[in-house]
Amino acid sequence: MTGTALPGRAEVLGMLAAFGQRTADTVPEELGSLELTWLIAEFEQSYGIELDLDDERFEAVRTVDAATELLREAVLAAAPAGAAQP
């Protein structure tokens, strides 16, 4: 994970755009559970990081910004200290 960049909003929108084959600018701010499930699967495949979310944490993620924060936290948690880049 050395030097792994943290996922940003644009990357998250790009991943979500693949769900439903749409452009990133048409992805709504609010996420449904299927979109979030898709995003998590795409993230896990791209980053090689498995997210272990309990139901409460999963239900709390309802926006693109919240999803971005969750994925950034996952990269930081999986990286050696100081290895993840903004």
Q: Hey, what amino acid is at 3?
A: G
**At residue 82, does pLDDT exceed 80?**
no
Among 25, 37, 80, which residue's Cα sits nearest to residue 61?
37
Instruction: Show me where the domains of the chain are located.
Output: 9-78
Residue 3 is predicted with a pLDDT of 55
Give 2-32 pLDDT, tens digit per residue: 457 899 999 999 999 999 899 999 999 999 9
Q: Which pTM was predicted?
A: 0.85
Residues 6+ apart with CB under 8 A from 33: 58
Q: Does domain 9-78 have CATH number 3.40.50.20?
A: no
What gap in Å lies between CA 27 and CA 83, rounded to an integer? 30
